[in-house]
């Protein structure tokens, strides 16, 4: 299994190089550069030329890319033009917030979508099925930013029971050990901080997970319905196995491979959705950072972040592959 | 030449007040401000954004600042700033001025700060000081600045010079900004969370702080206006910057907050580059100015949250003439006649506008299209992404666009940049008569004389119409009823102007 993982991770290296090359080329094709976007609009052309030289933007693009690549292979993604700090430092500071949000959103999506999908499949054509379908289609079609603003107005504005944004209240005072606020609060034994962290996480996680919930509901329903039509289900029923056991033990377990596959694929969509959600909720993750990077043409930051996103997607799919072997013993890592 | 001297309300002059205030109880209340600006990091010279610049001035102290009540630049850290001849300005520091760590503020610090701004690649504010040919410490408390040409904008530029420590920089380099952000301003740096928030803390010993100024202030980035207003409503923040017109009534209806508005000192305008046809024809440019019904747009789209401009400036700005009314009023028939007179009826033009950069920018541009077509133009509306539009504007590749220009308390730099020959490629306008008038105002150090010269330049500018001046947005600030804060005509919220009730 270890060899399999090493092979997969080694295979990811060319993918990361190609991705960074594509991003770099796209940045070159876009009008303007970091100097245009970040230096005051009062700066003279001489000032801009001096800064371009200092930032290495006066060199031929291919040389710039090779320099970047050479440094990146040693883990140095360069300095952010906007923040004047090493990209890796900025990304590592904000990555835990995005992972925390993405994991919470995935848990919500799986926790709601799977039972709802199974329920709809167990009672096809009933009111339950109609409710599940309506819920999932609404989730799939609702834009994140719209739902986000709606929930802010409702839960932060009207009911005033949840904060409107951010990750923690001013002066929470929990030491950032892992960077994951929930874990850090537990490690510090600060249950008040844990409560505050969960309150801040609730709305953005719900918004981010809504689309994925809809898709998982639909996918689970379809997979379980297919499984319920299989011969082994008929055999189980003829042997007098209870309907609940048929549904969960036989049909659902066989449907899980498809469901898990879609969770892995949707994780990528979820990460891209995080950019919007983080902006709407002022969530200090790498999604909102990427938006800032793009608007300021901060290419070391953009490439660094895209590589992190790509890496997260690769690791997630690797974990999904691992999960296959747990849910279906016929699947082997080789 | 008459000498210009700034010497009122300096830190030293306020020292007597400090003794009195120190005896009173200082509030420990904290105030959170929801902002729209970027929070780029620890380097005060890196990001030229106005609000963050003002925060850094509160921490480090700047050489001068603008007194909105007096309508002039006054010394801030300095004791006085004066022109001693046509090309030389003298800055005098007060004796005994110290940083938050007790280190003295010296003339060498001002020289170092200006040198860093001009030459360090970490600086995004070189434009403020790059025309100065020499900056020299005469003694521990005196600095002389030599300019290439007579330059009345030096006090304005010095308002953007945060005075950091040369001694600490020599010891720590750029790490000084993070490890030892000791300034001589009324607030101390507590925390910077990049892209998220900044926290500053009142210096009780500073003469500019009052007992009821907030003990701590958090500037918290909240990009979405709905979120800023909701955070104000539920008490998460006490001040919300940038409340758009459509949300102002919601803030007024809140039991715990109200709206305060002020001019933005940002001129919104339609630029027409004479380097491209038909904008090389004066009548075509004038036709545009006559074609736009600014009052209707301000009323219907901006909900009256705008001050109509008769030139590039309005009340409170240098060069404003209350008796001047633009001859380029809304007159669609005249616009059509002008266009017909030069045989340009039906001429095709493309109007470019950013989307989401300025209040209701796209809606405004959409409203302008039928107005321009009524005058005889055939208009295509172009709405590129901001970064693309801005890059092309800077290169002079956009002939006709809707845009804003801020930081215009003293409009001289902006007018030179956009309208003087060779100022920048953005409009590419050239008019020798206007150049002379602009040069004259720039070299006049007497405030009243300079205002008159500026007014003459503005009249010429309006007549030549390289731009149609539209309005200044009224900027809405949501303010909690627990505090008193009257925003100034600039995007800044200084701690010493916020009072806890």
CA-to-CA dists, residue B156 to A166, A290, B55, B162, B409, angstroms: 36, 35, 17, 13, 9
Bridge partner residues of B240 (DSSP): B34, B478
Q: How many CB pairs under 8 A join A and B?
A: 135
In this complex, is the C-beta atom of A184 within 8 Å of any C-beta atom belonging to chain B?
Answer: no
Find out whether A88 and B50 touch, Cβ atoms under 8 Å: no
The torsion region of residue B150 among left (phi > 0), alpha (psi -120 to 50) and beta comes to beta
Bridge partner residues of B75 (DSSP): B64
Bridge partner residues of B288 (DSSP): none
Q: Which residue on chain B is closest to A155 by alpha carbon?
A: B230
CA distance B234 to A159: 9
**What pLDDT, on a 0 to 100 scale, did the predictor assign at position B2?**
43
**What pLDDT, on a 0 to 100 scale, did the predictor assign at position B5?**
56
Q: Which of B88, B106, B87 is nearest to B96 (CA)?
A: B106
B222 and A165 in contact by Cβ < 8 A? yes
Q: Which of A198, A209, A252 is nearest to A227 (CA)?
A: A252
Sort out which chain A residues have CB atoms less than 8 A from B417's CB and list them. Answer: 41-42
Sort out which chain B residues have CB atoms less than 8 A from A33's CB and list them. Answer: 391
**What pLDDT, on a 0 to 100 scale, did the predictor assign at position A320?**
86
Q: Which of A215, A201, A323, A329 is nearest to A267 (CA)?
A: A215
In this complex, is the C-beta atom of A50 within 8 Å of any C-beta atom belonging to chain B?
Answer: yes
Candidates A81, A280, A282, A290: best to mutate against B (most CBs of B within 10 A) is A282
Strands B348-352 and B378-382: parallel
pLDDT exceeds cutoff 80 at B16 = no
B192 φ, ψ to 5°?
-125, 125
pLDDT exceeds cutoff 80 at B416 = yes
Q: Is A137 helix (H, G, I), strand (E, B) or coil?
A: helix
Find out whether B487 and B475 touch, Cβ atoms under 8 Å: yes
Exposed/middle/buried for residue B106 (C-beta within 10 Å: 0-12, 13-18, 19+):
buried
Question: Among A15-19, B77-81, B155-159, B278-282, which stretch is predicted with the lowest mean pLDDT?
Answer: A15-19
pLDDT exceeds cutoff 80 at A334 = no
Query: What does the longest C-alpha to C-alpha distance in chain A come to?
Result: 85
Tokens 């970027």 belong to which residue?
B38
Find out whether B159 and B64 touch, Cβ atoms under 8 Å: yes
Sort out which chain B residues have CB atoms less than 8 A from A290's CB and list them. Answer: none
Sort out which chain B residues have CB atoms less than 8 A from A163's CB and list them. Answer: 231, 234, 236
Bridge partner residues of B90 (DSSP): B82, B144
A170 and B32 in contact by Cβ < 8 A? yes
Q: What is the pLDDT of residues B464-491, one digit of tens each?
A: 999 999 999 999 999 999 999 999 887 8
What is the secondary structure of B157-189 as a DSSP string? HHTT-B---HHHHHHHGGGHHHH----SSSEEE
CA distance B35 to B231: 11
Find out whether B7 and B155 touch, Cβ atoms under 8 Å: no
Q: Is B200 helix (H, G, I), strand (E, B) or coil?
A: strand
The torsion region of residue B11 among left (phi > 0), alpha (psi -120 to 50) and beta comes to alpha
Is the bond leading into B382 cis (omega within 30 degrees of zero)? Answer: no
**What pLDDT, on a 0 to 100 scale, did the predictor assign at position A188?**
94
Q: What does pLDDT average to over chain A?
A: 90
**What pLDDT, on a 0 to 100 scale, did the predictor assign at position B37?**
78
The torsion region of residue B216 among left (phi > 0), alpha (psi -120 to 50) and beta comes to beta
**What pLDDT, on a 0 to 100 scale, did the predictor assign at position B326?**
87
**What pLDDT, on a 0 to 100 scale, did the predictor assign at position A228?**
92
Q: What pLDDT band is residue B136 in, cutting at 50, 70 and 90? A: very high
Q: Which of B289, B324, B279, B346 is nearest to B458 (CA)?
A: B324
CA distance B297 to B359: 12
**What pLDDT, on a 0 to 100 scale, did the predictor assign at position B8?**
44
CA distance B157 to B128: 5
Q: Which of B353, B427, B350 is nearest to B386 (CA)?
A: B353
Candidates A32, A159, A283: best to mutate against B (most CBs of B within 10 A) is A32
Sign of the CA dihedral with A173 first, then A177, A180, and A184 last: negative
Find out whether A131 and A206 touch, Cβ atoms under 8 Å: no
Q: Is B104 helix (H, G, I), strand (E, B) or coil?
A: strand
Residue B376, min C-alpha distance to chain A (Å): 32
**What pLDDT, on a 0 to 100 scale, did the predictor assign at position A200?**
96
B121 and A50 in contact by Cβ < 8 A? yes
In this complex, is the C-beta atom of A231 within 8 Å of any C-beta atom belonging to chain B?
Answer: no
- The reply to whether CATH 3.40.50.10360 applies to domain A95-327 is no
Give percent of chain A with pLDDT exceeding 90: 53
Residue A27, min C-alpha distance to chain B (Å): 11
What is the separation of C-alpha A214 from the centre of its chain, rounded to a whole number of angstroms?
Answer: 16
| Side-chain-facing half-sphere of B336: CA atoms under 13 Å | 8
Q: Which residue on chain A is closest to B224 by alpha carbon?
A: A280
Q: What is the mean pLDDT of residues B226-248?
A: 94
| Side-chain-facing half-sphere of A303: CA atoms under 13 Å | 29
Residue B393, min C-alpha distance to chain A (Å): 10
Find out whether A165 and A224 touch, Cβ atoms under 8 Å: no
- For chain A, residues classed under CATH 1.10.3720.10 are 95-327
Q: What is the mean pLDDT of residues A99-126?
A: 94
Task: Report pTM.
Answer: 0.87
Tokens of B436: 């002379």
pLDDT exceeds cutoff 70 at B3 = no
Sort out which chain B residues have CB atoms less than 8 A from A296's CB and list them. Answer: 387
Q: What is the pLDDT of residues B344-396, one digit of tens each?
A: 999 999 999 999 889 999 999 999 999 999 999 999 999 998 888 988 998 89
Q: Which A positions 84-123 lie with beta carbon below 8 A of chain B?
A: 84-85, 90, 93-94
B130 and A31 in contact by Cβ < 8 A? no
Strands B30-35 and B239-243: parallel
Residues in CB range of B135: below 8 A, 6 or more apart: B110, B111, B114, B115, B129, B143, B144, B145, B146
What is the secondary structure of A180-211 as a DSSP string? -HHHHHHHTT-HHHHHHHHHHHHHHHHHHHHH
Q: What is the pLDDT of residues B250-286, one digit of tens each?
A: 999 999 999 999 988 899 999 999 999 999 999 999 9
Question: Among A255-259, B183-187, B440-444, which stretch is predicted with the lowest mean pLDDT?
Answer: A255-259
Residues in CB range of A107: below 8 A, 6 or more apart: A209
Q: Is B282 helix (H, G, I), strand (E, B) or coil?
A: helix
Q: Which residue on chain B is closest to A149 by alpha carbon?
A: B226
Sort out which chain A residues have CB atoms less than 8 A from B40's CB and list them. Answer: 82-84
Q: What is the mean pLDDT of residues B62-75?
A: 91
Exposed/middle/buried for residue B28 (C-beta within 10 Å: 0-12, 13-18, 19+):
exposed
Residue B234, min C-alpha distance to chain A (Å): 6
Candidates A48, A156, A165, A171: best to mutate against B (most CBs of B within 10 A) is A165
What's chain A's length in residues? 334
Q: What is the mean pLDDT of residues A248-260?
A: 89
Candidates A36, A38, A43: best to mutate against B (most CBs of B within 10 A) is A43
């Amino acid at each position: 299994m270890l060899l399999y993982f090493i092979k997969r991770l080694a295979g990811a290296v060319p993918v990361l190089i190609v991705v960074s090359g594509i991003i770099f080329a796209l940045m070159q094709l876009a009008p303007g550069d970091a100097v245009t976007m970040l230096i005051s609009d009062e700066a003279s052309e001489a000032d801009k030329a001096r800064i371009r030289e200092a930032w290495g933007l006066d060199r031929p693009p291919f040389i710039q890319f090779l320099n970047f690549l050479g440094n990146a292979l040693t883990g140095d993604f360069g300095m952010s033009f906007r923040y004047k700090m090493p990209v890796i430092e900025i990304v590592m500071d904000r990555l835990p917030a995005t992972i925390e949000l993405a994991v919470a959103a995935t848990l919500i999506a799986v926790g709601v979508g799977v039972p709802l999908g199974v329920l709809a499949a167990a009672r096809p054509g009933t009111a339950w099925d109609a409710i599940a379908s309506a819920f999932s289609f609404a989730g799939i079609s609702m834009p994140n930013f719209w739902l986000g603003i709606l929930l802010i107005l409702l839960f932060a504005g009207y009911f005033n029971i949840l904060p409107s944004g951010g990750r923690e209240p001013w002066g929470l005072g929990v030491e950032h050990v892992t960077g994951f606020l929930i874990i850090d609060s537990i490690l510090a034994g600060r249950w008040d901080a844990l409560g505050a962290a969960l309150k801040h996480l609730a709305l953005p996680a719900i918004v981010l997970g809504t689309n994925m919930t809809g898709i998982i509901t639909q996918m689970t329903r379809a997979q379980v319905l297919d499984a319920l039509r299989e011969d082994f289900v008929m055999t189980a029923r003829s042997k007098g196995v209870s309907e609940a056991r048929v549904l969960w033990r036989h049909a659902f377990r066989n449907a899980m491979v498809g469901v898990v596959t879609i969770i892995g694929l949707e994780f990528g969509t979820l990460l891209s959705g995080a950019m919007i959600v983080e902006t709407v909720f002022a969530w200090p993750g790498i999604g909102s950072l990427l938006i800032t990077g793009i608007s300021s043409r901060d290419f070391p930051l953009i490439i660094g972040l895209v590589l992190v996103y790509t890496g997260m997607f690769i690791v997630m799919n690797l974990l999904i592959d691992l999960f296959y072997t747990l849910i279906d013993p016929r699947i082997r890592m080789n | 030449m008459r000498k210009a001297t700034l010497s009122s309300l300096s830190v030293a002059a306020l020292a007597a007040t400090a003794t009195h205030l120190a005896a009173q109880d200082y509030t420990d209340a904290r105030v959170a401000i929801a902002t729209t600006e970027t929070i780029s990091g620890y380097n005060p010279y890196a990001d030229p954004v106005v609000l963050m610049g003002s925060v850094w001035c509160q921490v480090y102290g700047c050489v001068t600042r603008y007194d909105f009540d007096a309508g002039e630049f006054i010394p801030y850290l300095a004791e006085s700033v004066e022109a001693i001849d046509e090309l030389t300005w003298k800055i005098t520091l007060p004796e005994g001025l110290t940083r938050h760590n007790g280190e003295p503020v010296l003339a060498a610090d001002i020289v170092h700060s200006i040198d860093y701004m001009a030459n360090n690649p970490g600086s995004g504010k070189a434009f403020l000081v790059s025309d100065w040919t020499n900056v020299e410490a005469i003694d521990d408390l005196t600095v002389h600045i030599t300019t290439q040409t007579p330059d009345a904008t030096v006090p304005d530029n010095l308002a953007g010079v945060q005075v950091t420590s040369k001694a600490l920089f020599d010891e720590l380099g750029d790490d000084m900004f993070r490890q030892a952000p000791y300034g001589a301003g009324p607030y101390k740096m507590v925390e910077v969370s990049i892209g998220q928030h900044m926290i500053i803390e009142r210096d009780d010993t500073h003469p500019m702080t009052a007992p009821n100024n907030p003990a701590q202030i958090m500037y918290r980035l909240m990009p979405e206006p709905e979120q800023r207003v909701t955070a104000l409503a539920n008490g998460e923040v006490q001040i919300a910057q940038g409340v758009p017109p459509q949300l102002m009534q919601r803030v007024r209806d809140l039991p715990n907050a109200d709206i305060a508005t002020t001019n933005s000192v940002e001129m919104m305008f339609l630029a027409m580059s004479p380097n491209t046809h038909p904008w090389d024809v004066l009548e075509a440019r004038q036709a545009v100015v006559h074609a736009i019904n600014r009052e209707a747009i301000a009323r219907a789209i901006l909900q009256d949250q705008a001050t109509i401009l008769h030139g590039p400036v309005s009340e409170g700005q240098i060069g404003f003439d209350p008796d001047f009314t633009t001859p380029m009023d809304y007159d669609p028939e005249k616009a059509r006649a002008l266009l017909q007179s030069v045989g340009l009826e039906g001429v095709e033009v493309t109007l470019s506008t950013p989307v989401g950069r300025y209040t209701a920018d796209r809606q405004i541009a959409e409203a302008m299209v039928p107005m321009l077509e009524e005058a005889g133009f055939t208009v295509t509306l172009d709405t590129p992404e901001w970064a693309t539009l801005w890059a092309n504007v800077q290169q002079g590749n956009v002939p006709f666009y809707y845009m804003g220009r801020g930081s215009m308390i003293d409009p001289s730099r902006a007018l030179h940049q956009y309208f003087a020959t060779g100022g920048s490629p953005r409009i590419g306008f050239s008019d020798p008569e206007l150049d002379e008038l602009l040069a004259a105002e720039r070299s006049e150090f007497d405030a009243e004389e300079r205002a008159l010269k500026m007014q003459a330049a503005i009249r010429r500018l309006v007549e030549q119409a390289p731009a149609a001046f539209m309005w200044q947005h009224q900027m809405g600030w949501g303010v909690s009823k627990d505090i008193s804060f009257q925003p100034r005509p600039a995007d800044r919220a200084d701690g010493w102007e916020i009072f806890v009730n």
